[in-house]
């Protein structure tokens, strides 16, 4: 609906930040827990993590063309880890 169209248009104007924090969620649970604790030492990071934790799902708005169905399936399932938050249910 309208909300998905708005989110898609907004996401299209954003640029991906190098070194995305979400890739840390691909780590072993104990490693990610230590990394998260370190991030939470900064008040702004702690607030961002709280916002993410409060969400029910992560909605991934991928717009990349893929050369084959296999490439698309690979990306939709795991991507490169930079735009997936593996502590949440993924909706692609």
**pLDDT tens digits, one per residue of 22-81:** 888 888 999 999 999 999 999 999 998 998 888 888 777 777 788 898 888 887 777 777
pTM of structure: 0.65
| E strand residue ranges, the chain | 57-59, 89-91
How would you class 42 by CB atoms within 10 Å of its CB: exposed for 0-12, middle for 13-18, buried for 19 or more? exposed
């Amino acid at each position: 609906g309208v909300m998905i169209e708005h989110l898609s248009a907004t996401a299209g104007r954003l640029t991906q930040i190098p070194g995305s924090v979400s890739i840390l969620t691909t780590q072993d649970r104990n490693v990610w827990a230590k990394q998260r604790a370190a991030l939470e030492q900064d008040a702004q990071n702690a607030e961002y993590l709280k916002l993410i934790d409060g969400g029910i799902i992560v909605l991934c708005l991928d717009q990349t063309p893929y050369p084959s169905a296999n490439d698309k399936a690979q990306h939709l399932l795991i991507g490169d880890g930079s735009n997936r938050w593996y502590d949440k249910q993924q909706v692609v």
